[in-house]
Amino acid sequence: MDVEYERVDLREPLSEEQRKNNLRITELQFKLNHTFWLTEEYEKIEKELFNGNFGELSRITPPLNGVCFDLVQIGKNVVIGANCLMMARGGMIIEDDVRIAANVQLITNNHDLYERDVLTCKPILIKKDAWIGAGATILPGVEVGKHSIIGACSVVTKDVPDYGVVVGNPAKLIKTLDKEKFKD
């Protein structure tokens, strides 16, 4: 995925609308993490936290941490394990049937090397039926291909091809899965 960085200067004051939205998201995140999951109340909060961009049959095991959940789109039948961190200032799309294990970090923003109060943000795209192993970290601007696998504790700094299996720090391609074995 080749996209330009968005720069956000944290020294600039938020507008009243931005401040209210941040407060709303923070309150919803707190409610989500303090509501018994697998209930209608919990599901209602999930949908509201993600501005309705939360697909049918998708679920998140709490706790969930992060920022800018309103910039995240979650497809249908997505499972996200406990302790997921979504630093989503750069935007994030998680397509249908994705599996994200516990303790995964999805990071769309970083700090400028010379101006630490400036965020550089790039979106993350996780395509259909990808599987992200426990403790993996996906960094800004990465596209994770369909039916791919990210090994546990891997740090993904570059795009992962469709059907690719990557492991390590930094993650490296070790295998390509047989696409004939998947139903698309």
Q: Which are the catalytic amino acids?
A: 111
The Cα 168–Cα 172 span in angstroms is: 6
Residue whose pair of structure tokens reads 């049937």 in the numeric block: 97
Quick count: other Cβ atoms within 10 Å of Cβ 15? 9
At 78, which amino acid appears? V
User: 135: exposed, middle or buried (C-beta count within 10 Å: 0-12, 13-18, 19+)?
Assistant: middle
Secondary structure class of 172 (helix, strand, coil): strand
Place of tokens 């769309």: 108
C-alpha triplet 113, 118, 124: angle, nearest 5°:
85
Place of tokens 């740090």: 155
Of 110, 130, 107, residue with least CA distance to 7: 110
